[in-house]
Amino acid sequence: MTTSPSAIPADQPAQPAASDRPPVVAMTGITVTFPGVKALDGVDLRLFPGEVHALMGENGAGKSTLIKALTGVYSIDAGTIVVDGTERTFTGPAQAQLAGISTVYQEVNLCDNLSVAENVMLGHEVRRAGLVDFRATRRAAREHLKALNLDIDPASTLSSHSLAVQQLVAICRAMVVDARVVILDEPTSSLDVDEVERLFAVVRDLRSRGVAILFVSHFLEQVYAISDRMTVLRNGTLVGEYRTADLPRVELVQKMIGRSLEVLEQLEEAPKRVVAERGDVQPYVQAIGLGRKGSIEPFDLDVYPGEVVGLAGLLGSGRTELARLLYGADRSDVGELRVDGQPTKLRTPRSALARRIVYSSESRKTEGIIGDLTVRENIVLGLQAERGWLRRIPQRKADEVVAQYVEQLGIRPANPDAIAGNLSGGNQQKVLLARWLATQPKLLLLDEPTRGIDVGAKAEIQRLVAELAEQGMAVVFISAELEEVLRLSHRIAVLRDRRKIGELTNGDDVTTDDVVDLIASGGQDA
C-alpha cells in the first residue's frame, strides 16, 4: 500500500529489542462495519512489550474503533486478534481487562457521582475478611493519584472536578490494574504541558517494565516525544507501520491526510491577527468585579467586537468557571455584567443566548452533544432553542445551515441523518462548534474548541475563528495549548488559582514564556 522506504515489511520487527519478543497483541485483517459505514477494512496492528506504539490518523480514520474492536466493545466482521500467542475474541472490556489489557477510552467513562477513590479503585477495592476496607482503599487510591501528581481529595465526588482531572483519574484507574497492555485513546487532549510530562513519566516507567502501550493523540510533538513505533490509518484502511525515528513529521502528516505538501504549508501559516481598530467602540461584554464564591474570584474583563481574548492558566485556574459566568451557566453572586453597555443579569444560558452570547463546553459528552439525536438535530438545536419550541425551523432552512457547516468544518460522515453519538470524537466536536456558529453569535465563548481535532481540521477551525473575529465577532478562547492561544488572541487574560492575575496585549514579541512567567509570578510584578 505504501512505497515509502521507511515502511517496515510486516515480517521484520522495527527494533532489535523487539525482535526477540513476539508481540503481545497482534491484530490482522480487522474489518468492522456499521450499518452503512465500513469503519475498518483489513487493518493490522502489532503491540510489542516495552514499546510505546502510536496509532495515527485523521478524525474518523478508525482509531477508536480499532481499540474497541480489540477490547471487545465491537465485534469484528473479519480478521483475527492474537493475544500472547493465542487467538482471542473478547466479549467486552471486562474480559479484556482480565487478560491484562487496560483501556482509557476517548470520552471519560467513569461514574460521575462516585468519589474519586471509588472510581480509581472500582473492582479493585482493598478487602479485609471479604469486606471492603474503605480507609485502606482510599489510601491506595491516593498512592495511585500521587503517581500522576494529582493532589486532590480522594473522597471528593468525581463530577466536582474539571474534565482534565477526570481524564487523569481515568488514567489512574487504568494503572491500578497490573496490565501488560495499556491503551490510551487521546489521554492528553485536555491536559497542560505539566500534566503531559507527568503522564509521560508514568508511561516511560511502564515501558521500562515491559508493558506495551498504545497511544493515540493529535499532538505530533507528543507522539514524537514518546512513541517508538506507529501505525497510520486513513479512512479505515491501513497505511503502514513505521518506526517513529524513521518517519519525519512531514511524511507522517502526508500519510495521514493522503494529500500533498501544499496542505501542510498552509497548516503552518498562522491565521492573521488583525488588531481591531477600536476607536470609540464600546466592549460587547464588560465584567466589573464579577465573581462567584468557590468558583472564581471577582474579575474585570472587557471583550470588544472583533477581538479574540485568550484565557491562559493552568489546570483548575478558573478559565472554564470564568466563561460559564459570562454565559449564565453558573450565576454570579457579586459584581456587574454589562452587555452592549446595558447592565444585565444572566440567570440561565437561555438568557445569554437571547443576547447572542454562546458557550461551547469543553466536555462535549456530558455538556455538548445530544448523543441519540442526529447530526442535523444537534446542529440546529441552538437555533431552535433561540426561536422557542413553537416555531420549528423549517426543514429547508435546517438543511441549508447543516449543509453549510458540514462542508465548512469537514464533518465526516457528511450525513445529516447520522446519529451524532456514533461520530468519531473529533467529528462530534465539529458538530458542537457548528451548533454555535449557526446561531451567529456576537460573543463566542470557546472552551477547548479544538480538543480531539486532527491537525488539518484544527488549522481550519483556527482560521475560521480569526475570520469571524475579523468580521466583528467577539471571541473568548480557552485552550490548554498555549501556542494556540497565542496564535489567535489579541489579548490574553491570565488566571491562576481561580483568580484573574493579569492581562497581556499580544504582539509578535510575546512568547509562551512570557505567559508562563506571568502565571508563575502570580501576577506580582505584572
| Interaction site with ligand ATP (CB under 6 A) | 34, 37, 39, 57, 59-65, 106, 412-413, 422-427, 452, 454
Cell of 303: 471583550
Q: Are 437 and 405 spatial neighbours (Cβ–Cβ below 8 Å)? A: yes
Q: How many CA within 13 A on the CB side of residue 450?
A: 25
For the bound state, the minimum distance from the C-beta of residue 252 to ligand ATP, rounded and expressed in Å, comes to 15
Question: Closer CB to another protein, residue 34 or residue 127?
Answer: 34
Nearest to 486, CA basis, from 458, 509, 454? 509
Decide if residue 348 touches another protein (CB under 8 A).
yes
Question: Closer CB to another protein, residue 103 or residue 462?
Answer: 103
Q: Considering CB distances under 5 to 8 angstroms, the limit depending on partner class, which of Mg ion, another protein, ligand ATP, none binds residue 62?
A: ligand ATP
Q: Are 515 and 500 spatial neighbours (Cβ–Cβ below 8 Å)? A: no
For the bound state, the minimum distance from the C-beta of residue 199 to ligand ATP, rounded and expressed in Å, comes to 18
Give the sign of the dihedral formed by CA 291, CA 296, CA 297, CA 301: negative
Q: Considering CB distances under 5 to 8 angstroms, the limit depending on partner class, which of another protein, ligand ATP, Mg ion, none binds residue 427?
A: ligand ATP
Q: Considering CB distances under 5 to 8 angstroms, the limit depending on partner class, which of ligand ATP, another protein, Mg ion, none binds residue 95?
A: none
Q: Considering CB distances under 5 to 8 angstroms, the limit depending on partner class, which of ligand ATP, Mg ion, another protein, none binds residue 93?
A: another protein
Q: Please report which residue ranges of 340-497 form alpha helices under DSSP H.
A: 349-354, 364-367, 375-387, 395-409, 425-438, 455-470, 482-488
Site string for another protein, 354-373 (x = CB under 8 A): ----xx-x----xxxxxxxx
As a whole number of Å, the end-to-end CA separation of the chain is 56
Give the sign of the dihedral formed by CA 29, CA 32, CA 38, CA 39: negative
State the Cα–Cα distance between residues 360 and 255, nearest whole angstrom.
31
Q: Considering CB distances under 5 to 8 angstroms, the limit depending on partner class, which of another protein, Mg ion, ligand ATP, none binds residue 244?
A: none
Question: Closer CB to ligand ATP, residue 14 or residue 61?
Answer: 61
Ramachandran region, residue 130 (left: φ > 0; alpha: ψ -120 to 50; beta: rest) = left
For the bound state, the minimum distance from the C-beta of residue 204 to ligand ATP, rounded and expressed in Å, comes to 24
State the Cα–Cα distance between residues 2 and 366, nearest whole angstrom.
40
Cell of 467: 475570520
- Amino acid symbol at 311: L
State the Cα–Cα distance between residues 433 and 463, nearest whole angstrom.
14
Question: Closer CB to ligand ATP, residue 234 or residue 499?
Answer: 234
Q: Considering CB distances under 5 to 8 angstroms, the limit depending on partner class, which of Mg ion, ligand ATP, another protein, none binds residue 384?
A: another protein
For the bound state, the minimum distance from the C-beta of residue 351 to another protein, rounded and expressed in Å, comes to 9
Site string for another protein, 253-292 (x = CB under 8 A): ----------------------------------------
Please pick, from the candidates 387, 440, 511, 520, the single residue that binds another protein as defined by CB under 8 A: 387
Question: Closer CB to another protein, residue 25 or residue 108?
Answer: 108
Decide if residue 244 touches Mg ion (CB under 5 A).
no
Decide if residue 65 touches Mg ion (CB under 5 A).
no
Q: Considering CB distances under 5 to 8 angstroms, the limit depending on partner class, which of ligand ATP, another protein, Mg ion, none binds residue 373?
A: another protein
For the bound state, the minimum distance from the C-beta of residue 25 to Mg ion, rounded and expressed in Å, comes to 18
Question: Closer CB to ligand ATP, residue 106 or residue 439?
Answer: 106
Q: Are 189 and 451 spatial neighbours (Cβ–Cβ below 8 Å)? A: yes
Site string for another protein, 108-147 (x = CB under 8 A): -x--------------------------------------
Decide if residue 77 touches another protein (CB under 8 A).
yes
State the Cα–Cα distance between residues 8 and 243, nearest whole angstrom.
8
Residue with the closest Cβ to Mg ion? Answer: 64
- Amino acid symbol at 355: R
Question: Closer CB to Mg ion, residue 286 or residue 429?
Answer: 429
Residue position matching grid coordinates 489546570: 315
Q: Are 451 and 362 spatial neighbours (Cβ–Cβ below 8 Å)? A: yes
Decide if residue 435 touches another protein (CB under 8 A).
yes
Please pick, from the candidates 66, 381, 406, 494, the single residue that binds another protein as defined by CB under 8 A: 381
Contacts of residue 353, Cβ cutoff 8 Å, sequence gap at least 6: 382, 385, 386, 439
Q: Are 296 and 321 spatial neighbours (Cβ–Cβ below 8 Å)? A: yes
Please pick, from the candidates 64, 97, 190, 427, the single residue that binds Mg ion as defined by CB under 5 A: 64
CB atoms within 10 A of CB 11: 5
Q: What is the DSSP letter of 415?
A: -
For the bound state, the minimum distance from the C-beta of residue 393 to another protein, rounded and expressed in Å, comes to 7
Q: What is the DSSP letter of 275?
A: P
Question: Closer CB to another protein, residue 386 or residue 503?
Answer: 386
Cα of 267 vs its chain's centroid, Å? 20
For the bound state, the minimum distance from the C-beta of residue 404 to another protein, rounded and expressed in Å, comes to 19
Tell me the helix, strand and coil percentages in the chain, rounded to 5. 35, 25, 40
Question: Closer CB to another protein, residue 99 or residue 226?
Answer: 99
Please pick, from the candidates 129, 294, 390, 525, the single residue that binds another protein as defined by CB under 8 A: 390
Cα of 134 vs its chain's centroid, Å? 33
User: 81 by DSSP, 3-state: which?
Assistant: strand
Nearest to 474, CA basis, from 344, 346, 285, 318? 285
For the bound state, the minimum distance from the C-beta of residue 257 to ligand ATP, rounded and expressed in Å, comes to 13
Q: Please report which residue ranges of 160-287 form alpha helices under DSSP H.
A: 163-176, 193-208, 220-226, 249-257, 261-268
- Site residues for Mg ion per CB under 5 A: 64, 106, 424-425
The residues of the shown chain that bind another protein, judged by CB under 8 A, are 32-34, 64, 68, 72-77, 91-93, 105-107, 109, 327, 329, 348-350, 352-353, 358-359, 361, 366-373, 377, 381-382, 384-393, 421, 425, 435
